[in-house]
Structure 1
Amino acid sequence: MNDVSERLSFFAALYQVDRQPAAGMWLLYGTIFVLAVIVFKLGFAKRLPVLKSAVVYVFLALGCTVLTFLGVFLPVAEGLVVAALILIIYKIRLYQSKKGQSAKS
């Protein structure tokens, strides 16, 4: 018989989704949602009115529900971590570039 724990993604194994399904899935959902919000804010978010922001976050939460089920065996959270790191590096370099250009002017 195949052991399910061998096929779990890193975060699913970290949260022991196979042993504690309820708590593990909620922790995985929270992780994916927080990472998705970070990626959204860093990469795609413009300043929106409150109601539009609420709608965006509701749909983001619904989408993260689906991603959580996929994230048990696929590296969804890990991909979001990589995306967040790339966007953080991009934002830092963009800030340094703008700071350097304003100092030259």
Structure 2
Amino acid sequence: MTFFASLFKVHENPERGMWILYLTIIVLSVIVYNLGFAKKLPLLKNVVIYVSLALGCTILTFFAVFLPVTEGLLLAAIFLGLYKLRLRSHKKEQQAE
């Protein structure tokens, strides 16, 4: 059992725990997508991407009970966030010169 699965008590209350785990995975996946891969797209294409992302997260939720899926998404979000911050500060330094 992974940290987040035990944190959300999936083994004690499976229905509620799985929904919370599913929503956590969706939120982290959206953050990782926006930090690492998102481009400016029309609204309909964004809707298709986010619906596909939510459907894919359904499968990831079942894996997340026994594999560290949520932890990996959290680490990816942290690293991509740090990368974006450093990239932004580097661009500001270059503009100042």
Matched letter for residue 73 of structure 1: F
CA distance in 2, matches of 1:28, 1:102: 42
Cα drift, residue 90 of structure 1: 0.3
Q: Which residue matches 2:2?
A: 9
- From 4, 23, 27, the equivalent of 2:16 is 23
Provide the identity percentage: 60
Cα drift, residue 54 of structure 1: 0.2
CA distance in 1, matches of 2:15, 2:87: 41
CA distance in 2, matches of 1:98, 1:39: 21
Cα drift, residue 18 of structure 1: 0.3
CA distance in 2, matches of 1:43, 1:70: 23
Which portions of structure 1, spanning 4 or more consecutive aligned residues, are displaced by more than 2 angstroms? Answer: none
- Where do 1:1-105 residues align within 5 Å? 8-104=1-97
Cα drift, residue 95 of structure 1: 0.3
CA distance in 2, matches of 1:22, 1:98: 46
Cα drift, residue 46 of structure 1: 0.2
CA distance in 2, matches of 1:89, 1:61: 25
What are the ranges of 5 or more consecutive residues in structure 2 without an aligned counterpart?
A: none
Cα drift, residue 27 of structure 1: 0.2
Larger gyration radius, structure 1 or structure 2: 1
Matched letter for residue 36 of structure 1: S
Could you tell me the TM-score, scaled by structure 1's length? Answer: 0.92
Superposed CA deviations along residues 40-80 of structure 1, whole A, max 9, x for unmatched, are: 00000001110000000000000000000000010000000
Could you tell me the TM-score, scaled by structure 2's length? Answer: 0.99
Helix, strand or coil at the partner of 1:73: coil
